[in-house]
Amino acid sequence: SDIRLIEQIAQILSKSCKTASKSASMISIDEPILGVIVGVRIPFKYTENEIKKILDVLRESCGDTMVGMHICGRISPKLANILLETSMDFLSHEFYDSPENIKVYNPEDLRRSGKILSVGCLSSRNPKIESPHEIFKIMIKFRDFGDCLIFTPDCGFRNLVVNGSREKGYEIAIKKLRNMVEASTKVKEFAI
């Protein structure tokens, strides 16, 4: 829990981000533990300013490339506020498998921050294929957010293995994504 170690890791990651930004049009940084550090009663002693500073250093290392952060699991209101105050361009979270996250952001704060919210609207853990209607029901909960949204799966599909087969997991992931595209088309029609 020493902040100096975290700062050293951030410096190393900044070098990778700087290199990637030379050819990437967008960079998403996967942060697997921040949801646990902020807002859960675990005795990490990082201040809000230390967290913001580290995230801003990562963002700044990428220059003009669009940069965001994916944080899995439950997002506390405190963490959401910290993230809105960073220089990240977009924030990506699970909303299908962590439906409590739907209440964390409000449209006005998101617009004021100038950020895009990446709404995870289908499970990347469960091999059940969500119907377009089921995905639409998640998406439509964000109708008041306007054009500061993108819709994505909750997380990556790398660990979606079905009956020991990555190929079956891949086939299911494709079906899930097709249904997500169909649902997003319905959201656009609903907004007109």
Mean pLDDT for all residues in the chain: 90
Global pTM value:
0.89
Q: Across the beta sheet with 66-71, what order do the strands follow?
A: 26-31, 66-71, 90-94, 116-120, 149-152
Q: Tell me if residue 31 falls in helix, strand or coil.
A: strand
Split at pLDDT 50, 70, 90, the class of 1 is: low
User: Cβ of 191: how many Cβ atoms within 10 Å?
Assistant: 10
> b or e along 68-79 (b: 16 or more beta carbons within 10 Å of the residue's beta carbon)?
bbbbbbbbbeeb
Query: In this predicted model, what pLDDT tens digit does every residue of 131-183 receive, in sequence order?
Result: 999 999 999 999 999 889 999 999 988 888 899 999 999 999 999 999 999 99
Tokens of 87: 């220089």
The pLDDT value recorded for residue 148 is 93
Average pLDDT over residues 8-32: 90
Which of 25-34, 85-94, 113-122, 181-190 is the least confident region? 25-34
**Euclidean distance between CA atoms 158 and 129, whole angstroms:** 16
Tokens of 1: 């829990």
DSSP conformational letter for 192: -
Query: In this predicted model, what pLDDT tens digit does every residue of 96-123 receive, in sequence order?
Result: 999 999 999 999 999 999 999 999 999 9
Q: Domain extents for the chain?
A: 89-192
Helical ranges in 1-152 per DSSP H = 3-20, 34-37, 48-60, 77-84, 107-113, 132-139
User: Cβ of 47: how many Cβ atoms within 10 Å?
Assistant: 9
| Contact indicator for 156, 125 with CB cutoff of 8 Å | no
| Contact indicator for 117, 105 with CB cutoff of 8 Å | yes
**Euclidean distance between CA atoms 161 and 164, whole angstroms:** 6
Average pLDDT over residues 16-37: 87
The pLDDT value recorded for residue 59 is 95
The pLDDT value recorded for residue 57 is 92
Split at pLDDT 50, 70, 90, the class of 42 is: low
Q: Which residues pair with 69 in a beta bridge?
A: 29, 91
The pLDDT value recorded for residue 5 is 82
